[in-house]
Amino acid sequence: MSSDTNGRNRVSRRGLLGTALAAGGAITLPRGASAGPGNPANQPPNLPDWSRTLGDGVAVRAYGKPSRHEADVIRRDVEWLTASRESSVSFTPLHELDGIITPNGLCFERHHGGIAEVDPADWRLVLHGLVDKPLMFTLDDIKRLPRTNRVYFAECAANSGMEWRGAQLNGCQFTHGMIHNVMYTGVPLKILLEEAGLKPNAKWLLIEGGDAAAMTRSLPLAKALDDCLVAYRMNGEMLRPENGYPVRIVVPGWEANMWVKWLRRIEVGDQPWHHREETSKYTDLLENGRARRFTYVMDAKSVITSPSPQAPLKHGKGFTVLSGIAWSGRGKIARVDVSLDGGRNWRTARLDGPVLDKSMARFYVEFDWDGRELFLQSRAMDETGYVQPTKDELRKVRGLNSIYHNNGIQTWRVLPGGEVENVEIA
Amino acid sequence: MSRSREVMVEILVALALLAGAGIGVAGAESAPKPGGKSDGKTVAVTAPAPAAKAAPVHYGIGREAKPEEIAGWDIDIRPDGQGLPKGRGTARDGEDIFVAKCAACHGEFGESTGRWPVLAGGAGSLASHDPVKTIGSYWPYASTVIDYIRRAMPFGDAQSLTNDELYAITAYLLFLNDVITDREFVLSDETFPTIRLSNEANFFNDDREASEKAFWKKTPCMTACASGEPKIVGRARAIDVTPEDGKGPQVE
């Protein structure tokens, strides 16, 4: 009668119900709950339902999504940071990711006037100013031009900005998550400029977005001719609306504010425009009341993504893998060192996977944890010889009020129980 | 004959396309890297000189933009006055408009409500522990005020103001910041370039490669770099402002 022979038990309706409840409740469980004991009815010697019943067929999930058990791997925001959600930021869940490519749906967002919903049929790019012939491009035009594929990080200038005065937010998603790293497909900006023909006195470009903030930045011509892209794809597919659909500018190694989304206009001029995003914002106030402007490059930086406050050590003593990311706007990551004792002693981490120019690199340190308190730090070096400084070294030069460009070394305190917290140490 | 000629043309076009892509890449690698210390090697790579010097390839893609099309989108204004639209307004005119369209967020006197940006005040605070960065205390150029209002304000109703409203609101903000002292002063495309803000000279170009030269270290310390046990001097937990898992946005 029953096929429950050979010691195998059918998963009961109770088991199914349990699964459903777990799925429904998963989002309220603390992260890592899936690593718990689980449901014995699904475990050996029992056969879970997924081993005997048919699942969804093809194209039921026409655009696939992550497993429902990963429902906590999402962008998050910090409501008290900004006055409105339309001019605000959400953070990439770095503690849940590995490798170097950020999934499109998890790439941090920073808007100044909300997400512009652009109809690609109506999208136009105007290129004018100090050019021989002002041009207008459609999206089809842009896609007909020679294209290139590059992996670059985009890091908000304000990434880690809340940490200038001390440890504030408990998790690398919040302290370091204003960054993503994807493969862009686009046309070198140089090609568009050559198509229009530059006047001899051309020196600066104004890059303008088509959103309700009409975001603008002044871009030096030399950078535009070097490696900037007019990009329409990220990780193979078209840009996501929140990342500038259908077209954004990619400015490799430079602060992400300059990576204007929903690109609509490029004007060529002979001097910078000194617009709001390069005067009131994205200028770095020093202790003496003076301010740096045009601080374009994002310096070498790193963070340990696991263990970290949102990714505690749950397994107790023994062998474990420390994982992290490093990047530099000045070139390739050359080396990452890791300390377990708050910078007293360092060991060189293992870089794994592609190490690309102005891209995230992944590093690992495998070690045996003896269960004692640790003070984890990582220190990136890039190919120019730049060594990621401590926060105190940065503060000595800049004071506490420069908001942007905080690339200081991060410390995580691992407690004997495996919990991890954001601390500053002396 | 004509068919083979067509084929030839196609091949030539294809070659031109490839050459164009080549120029793009070679140019990118041989161009100096602004703002970055290059490793020397990259710069030393010499693209074939004739290719780099050759006239750029034209793909004939995109059409000429007409002046009237550009005019609709060309809204930017520079410190030297380039781009200023025709118009005029006084601080007295601007006060009423500001109260009607701006004060709900920015306060009647630019002091702000809630967490919305403060637009006036903060003079002399930049070197203090808590700098108040406003148009008057921090911004280098008045042109930025009128440009930004023109492109992005009011928040949620961008590019809705007339040119005269723009000048009037800007005049009122400059009045609140003691840049204009006469409420009846007519701010216009003609008088605008005479306006100077006091903090202009306090901005300087990125100097990290000089002022932070110490961060380019040849051999960072690897062992016994500090003495004693690490002493905790700050804890995010003590501040307790981190959003909790399970709260905030969720996926279905």
A68-109: per-residue pLDDT in tens? 999 999 999 998 889 999 999 999 999 999 999 999 999 999
* pLDDT tens sequence across A180-189: 999 999 999 9
Could you state, in order of their start, the residue ranges of all structural domains in chain A?
Answer: 89-293, 301-423
**Chain A within 8 Å of B114 (Cβ-Cβ)?**
yes
Q: Find out if CATH 2.60.40.650 is the number for domain A301-423.
A: yes
- Architecture category of domain A89-293 in CATH: Alpha-Beta Complex (3.90)
Tell me the ipTM for this assembly: 0.90
* Cross-chain Cβ contact A295/B206 below 8 Å: yes
Q: Is the pLDDT of residue A375 over 50?
A: yes
Q: Let me know: does A152 contact A360? Beta carbons within 8 Å.
A: no
Calpha distance A394→A86 (Å, rounded) = 31
pLDDT value for A31? 46
Nearest Cα residue to A217 out of A257, A157, A268, A188: A257
Lookup: tokens for A64: 């696939």
* Cross-chain Cβ contact A188/B251 below 8 Å: no
Please name the amino acid found at residue B25: V
Give A224's pLDDT tier (boundaries 50, 70, 90). Answer: very high
What integer is the mean pLDDT of A41-51?
96
Among residues 129-188 of chain B, which lie with CB inside 8 Å of chain A? Answer: 129, 131, 133, 135, 138-141, 143-144, 147-148, 151-152, 155-156, 158-159
Q: What is the mean pLDDT of chain A?
A: 93
Chain A residues near residue B80 by CB distance under 8 angstroms: 271
CA distance A268 to chain B (A): 12
Residues facing residue A351 across a β-bridge: A363
Low-confidence winner among A227-241, A313-327, B7-21, B184-198 (lowest mean pLDDT): B7-21
What one-character DSSP code corresponds to residue A76? B
User: Most confidently modeled of A240-249, B12-21, B54-63?
Assistant: A240-249
Q: Candidates 3.40.640.10, 1.10.260.40, 1.10.760.10, 3.40.50.300; correct CATH number of B74-202?
A: 1.10.760.10
The CA-based angle B41-B46-B50, given to 5 degrees, is 170
Could you state, in order of their start, the residue ranges of all structural domains in chain B?
Answer: 3-43, 74-202
Collapse the DSSP code of A137 into the 3-class scheme (helix H, G, I; strand E, B; otherwise coil) and give the result.
Answer: strand
Give B93's pLDDT tier (boundaries 50, 70, 90). Answer: very high
The CA-based angle B11-B16-B18, given to 5 degrees, is 95
The dihedral over CA atoms of A282, A111, A109, B234, expressed in degrees to the nearest 10, equals 50
CA distance A146 to chain B (A): 6
Q: Is the pLDDT of residue B46 over 50?
A: no
